[in-house]
Structure 1
Amino acid sequence: MKKALITGITGQDGSYLAELLLSKGYEVHGIVRRSSSINRGRIDHLGQYSQGPDARLHLHYGDLGDSVALVKLLYSLQPDEIYNLAAQSHVRVSFDIPEYTIDTTGTGAGRILEAIIESGIGKKVRYYQASSSEMFGKVQEIPQKETTPFWPRSPYSCAKVMAHWLTVNYRESYDLYACSGILFNHESPRRGETFVTRKITLAAAAIKLGQQDKLYLGNLDAKRDWGFAKEYVEGMWRMLQQDEPDDFVLSTNKTYSIKEFLDASFEAVGLDWKEHVEFDKRFLRPAEVDLLIGDYSKAKEKLGWEPKTDMKQLAKIMVDADMDLLQGKKFDPANRP
């Protein structure tokens, strides 16, 4: 039985990845931060795997800011695979808390890479680093691929560039099996409510149900490459099953504006977003990323991976789930996307 450790297991990607690995027979361990309020709703449905003598899901208190705890945990667990998904991942918020973002997202990756070496598991473990399309920022090439130069435009993306190159450095310096997945925007009903896609789908549902009147947004012209998170974690796993470590872009090779995502979301409930959406400059970034579109041809060729859900389908999946949520219907992640 393979053993995997996931940082950020309670997040969107972490929950889908935990599901996938458990379905493949893995023993899954996750790092969670201590908090006075428990926020594990995305993995509550996996409780069956965490009980009894044959439990295969285990949670451990820890933090990417605590290098000693990381070394102790890795030495104790001896995992076969590590997926580093933990981060302060909100781009706009990273301008408000840059130091924290850099420490958790950038230096945190350095701590776990060094913990791999210090714990003595470097020869056996396979490591996945969650890199981001935001690293391309002021894009130097269209579409963006693995060899496109980075030009980050936020503290978040700068920290991700740091984590990405640390992964490359540890791979080259210590012969570590380490991969980075440069994932373009990937969404789902489990996306946090402050991210623009979920903010839109939740508002569309609330306005349809008469629970909200207006939605306030910033730049509506920014273009993004949106895919379905559940499909993207499959790509993460496939990266660690290759004979040699490498870095891969996961994307759809299609780009849409915020306006087009609004069209799809409000159309799903029979509304015109132009009657409900208003501009608010507070949501503008100090430095904007205008266009992201990824070339996933390398992942298709070497991993056999490609996206299956387009933006309009994704928006409808999210809006339908938010309609159920706001109407008090029980949302069962095990039976829904």
Structure 2
Amino acid sequence: MPGVIPSQTLTRMIADGTIVSATPVTPAQIQPASLDLRLGTTAYRVRASFLTGHGKTVAERLPEFSMHQIDLTGGAVLEKGCVYLVPLMESLSLPPGLRAVANAKSSTGRLDLLTRTITDGGTEFDRVADGYHGPLYAEICPRSFSVLVRPGMALNQIRFREGKAVLDDAQLTALHAEETLVDGTPHIDDGLGFSVDLRPRDDTLVGYRAKPHTGVIDLAKIAHYPAREFWEELHTDQGRIILDPGAFYILVSREAVTIPPDYAAEMAPYLAMVGEFRVHYAGFFDPGFGHASAGGNGARGVLEVRCHEAPFVLEHGQIVGRLIYERMAESPERLYGREIKSNYQGQGLKLAKHFV
């Protein structure tokens, strides 16, 4: 059946050599509808981000851009504002008809770590061609904070698809009538629209803005760093804030969303005409996110926002993104928030798991 490949099929793909790694893939890497990808032992500081291009390999292009090589074995700092290329532990040997898309993990996006996957012969970031055979690389650019990384850490994840998986608006409307995908009246137009919450019920805290001069974040340390040392609280009782160009914000959607067990979703930006800002870095929503069958009761979407060009007024209820729903090829044996340890099930406004 066409659709997104579930966890139990990912396990079979590892066993049959479709997903390859010299270091065995661990069960913790297998998510309901995606696979976490691990950093290898070496990082390359590069002059600029690049795409490989048709008929060329990353290894062939790397000497054009590489500045120096970094051994990650004992831990190494990736510095804010620099671009790095890291070979990943996993590689692929996809059969015809199977393609993949990658994205940053939730905590990666909330740290403003721009992390994208590139492949040999690739002409797009985060897209793996039908039937691809070859290595995978992570391009990492820390935007707000310098970070300490080690081999085996997972900053991005990959999702596999076969055939047509995306629901059109009519199918999405029918699914909402059956499952109630979002509280309130749905805005369905090329996906399920969601808006920003700038009028919280019990407080004036609406979000956080990254501080410009902070210490290093060790990605292995969970619930360790005082939030006040890295983030400035944003308060308003007016239902609007002004975004500063170049600043990074953590905000939250007004709507609580649900992903039923037979579906997955991906966050996509809204029309560029609504404002020059980006609203997401990490975009996968697993089956069971916010769903009652996985212990949820709806969950807000955390928005990772960066403003471009000019100051921009963001107002309560303004639609800033959309969720693209996809069918699963079959129901996953593991759901988000139930069988796996999920840091963000039932979330509201929440920073990355590294902060107290």
Q: Larger relative CO (CA 8 A, sep 6+): 1 or 2?
A: 2
Higher relative strand content: 2
Verify same fold: TM over 0.5.
no
Higher relative helix content: 1
Q: Normalising by the residue count of structure 1, what TM-score does the alignment of the two structures yield?
A: 0.28
Q: Normalising by the residue count of structure 2, what TM-score does the alignment of the two structures yield?
A: 0.27
